[in-house]
Structure 1
């Protein structure tokens, strides 16, 4: 399936063993003891591989791990992943225990196999290979493993990046969020996450004005179209003839939905082409929940006002309860180009398409700090992403092996030449 193979069976077996071990740590909720045990295990494993690692403490309950590999210059590529995982609602609903790390049916089973302990093991294996084979890299590499990503605050990542002595030399980063296979018609693609929607939550208690809001607007998702963003425009140009960039978002959604109807995993196209709003009814109040696409033409305040105007909610005093801005990385960046060309070179049955995700990860923290981030954990043999945050999460061993090969090739290409930025 790949035209390159650098990783030996010995590396592959160790990757499976380390992932199985990591999955046995119940790193969920506020189990501070387990986080320390998991990070200590990873630190010990990294040191046994000959890597330079350090445990740091943004808080007493949530340690993190920093692994460095020096290159010939201070310019730095950042690799991200996390050890904390989503909760498990009921262990008995799983085919195999969610914190057992079982190897069965050609897959490793457990909460966090895909999100995101699998990627931890991918980065660790790649760094071990680079260290063992003494590859002289022009670019340095820092691998950060956090334990609070699922909280959504980004506190640990923000804390550690501010303390990295070479922070100003961080040129770009690779993280989770993309790499999922999608089929449009007869063509196969891998997503690359280049941005995340923003999220704002408002509420009001103005009873007289609440009564005037039409019932049909309440408690349902309202899709609000906008002109195609740079990401959506690029996506449409890849998937359809050029004239379709002038077509309305609703028609594009219908056309592309039909094209991907036979794809085992599908893009939520409404998330790519529309802002979304939900007006939640309460007994004495209303809340207004916005999920909005990146828009470099408007400030976040202007975006809020524009969305409220389009919903005809002017004149209501909305109180802002939560706001997380949308973020995006430029699709003309050299790292995105490297991902694209590497896939075309070693895995030509796939092409790469940019993707904006509705939820947010630690990538937004770096983007808000001015560091371009691209989410790419390639699962080319079809590990189901629907099991993430759900029952029976697992990672196919073939996807683990291929992800190591693909991301190693990308990193070799990125670190062999300075990552200049925009092309």
Structure 2
């Protein structure tokens, strides 16, 4: 049986070698990484394959079969943000170098770090009797919302259609509210719309925020973390919720943006795609249809949605339930109280939530400083954080997917020297 130290060692090896494979988003480079992972997986006897609906956009699918048809999906992606200027990095961004207790390179956290964590978790699951099947997907095209990545897999692969729950990136971050440490679990994402504004008018670039009715996730966060004062802020909503959250996070190493948490956010900017024109970007919380939010926001500029505005992109907000067994398992398996939150960005999670499948962003124990380096120079992940993530996620997955009789007595195989 593989123990934790061996699993972590191999996971770090996988991470370092993946970083050395350039999978910059939008270039169709993921197949090389997917094929490399597939060869390594099949050498271990895993049921693995590469799915490539478009040349270069290959994704890895690996299945550990359980006794039931129900399955848990472990989601990750192979593409990365561009490196940018190599001169801004203190180390080679495609080296996967280990130094000072960190693995350095593009994708170390987002998202090759999670790819490698799932690899280590599967090593530990190799001989675990499973009730639920466990499916691992290392998908192409996440950073560009490509139609050839997780979206295509969900629509065309039977393995993913059987999944009733998904664990993905996007949460697990440490958060201190007042004197109490928490971890945040991403349970939804704001909607996104991009509109081309009418010509012949003067627009000032800038941002506008409109207070929204709080989604249940953020009501729960305020009530759980803030006691009586938090319940008061949740009831008053608006500026009270923003102020209270800012004040509660004053000593937190990583802070959530309270305006994104409690407001529909609008931004007017010059269009790159249409020179000489302006675009409106909207990020809207769950609870209202995007069309209604957009119409409300456009009135700030004296505009109406159906009068001269061209809709370029539209994604509705998504949210997963807070009473789902997978979310409850996340609470039970973690060493800190867990709070739900709605993310302002978009990820592959939306493809599954839109199909009615609960998704929870949960990549725990990543240092706050490492989170700030995603999509920036000197991206890195600490070896200690990687190890803790493997341990916690193995505990979660094994308890949730294992045979109930096995799960009752399950202990992680430790042998740290």
Q: TM-score normalized by structure 2?
A: 0.89
1:186-236 deviations in whole A, cap 9, x for unaligned?
Answer: 1111111111111111123342xx25xxx7xx3111110012111111111
CA distance in 2, matches of 1:119, 1:380: 11
CA distance in 2, matches of 1:199, 1:165: 29
Match of 1:195 among 188, 210, 217: 188
Structure 1 residue 124: Cα displacement: 1.1
Match of 2:322 among 331, 346, 358: 331
The alignment covers a number of residue pairs equal to: 396
Moved more, 386-395 or 409-418: 409-418
Any idea what SS the aligned residue of 1:150 has?
coil
Matched, 1:14 2:7: no
Alignment of 1:158-237 (within 5 A): 158-207=151-200, 210-211=201-202, 218-237=204-223
Matched, 1:363 2:354: no
1:253-301 deviations in whole A, cap 9, x for unaligned?
Answer: 1222122122221111111100001223678544222111111xx4332
Q: Structure 1 residues 97, 206: closer, same or farther in 2, change over 3 A?
A: closer
Residue 292 of structure 1 is matched in structure 2 by 284
1:126-174 deviations in whole A, cap 9, x for unaligned?
Answer: 112111xx21111001111112111123532122222323554311100
Alignment of 1:85-96 (within 5 A): 85-96=80-91
Q: Structure 1 residues 247, 417: closer, same or farther in 2, change over 3 A?
A: farther
Residue 257 of structure 1 is matched in structure 2 by 246
Alignment of 1:90-109 (within 5 A): 90-109=85-104
CA distance in 1, matches of 2:236, 2:26: 48
Structure 1 residue 358: Cα displacement: 1.2
1:322-341 deviations in whole A, cap 9, x for unaligned?
Answer: 11221111122111111012
CA distance in 1, matches of 2:289, 2:245: 30
CA distance in 2, matches of 1:264, 1:48: 42
1:35-76 deviations in whole A, cap 9, x for unaligned?
Answer: 333222211221233311111111111111110000011101
1:66-102 deviations in whole A, cap 9, x for unaligned?
Answer: 1000001110111111111000111121121100000
Residue 24 of structure 2 is matched in structure 1 by 28
Structure 1 residue 382: Cα displacement: 4.2
Any idea what SS the aligned residue of 1:258 has?
helix
Residue 50 of structure 1 is matched in structure 2 by 45
Structure 2, unpaired ranges of 5+: 405-417
Structure 1, unpaired ranges of 5+: 1-5, 419-423
Q: Structure 1 residues 335, 270: closer, same or farther in 2, change over 3 A?
A: same
CA distance in 2, matches of 1:412, 1:112: 26
Matched, 1:340 2:335: no
Q: Structure 1 residues 154, 254: closer, same or farther in 2, change over 3 A?
A: farther
CA distance in 1, matches of 2:121, 2:239: 42
Residue 353 of structure 1 is matched in structure 2 by 339
Tell whether the 8 Å contact from 1:43 to 1:53 is kept in structure 2 after alignment: yes
CA distance in 1, matches of 2:269, 2:151: 32
Any idea what SS the aligned residue of 2:311 has?
strand
Matched, 1:308 2:304: no
CA distance in 2, matches of 1:169, 1:146: 17
CA distance in 1, matches of 2:169, 2:394: 15
Match of 1:275 among 249, 256, 264: 264
CA distance in 2, matches of 1:82, 1:163: 17
Any idea what SS the aligned residue of 1:411 has?
helix
CA distance in 1, matches of 2:159, 2:107: 30
Moved more, 236-245 or 63-72: 236-245
CA distance in 2, matches of 1:258, 1:10: 43
CA distance in 2, matches of 1:63, 1:314: 42
Structure 1 residue 13: Cα displacement: 1.4
Residue 312 of structure 2 is matched in structure 1 by 321
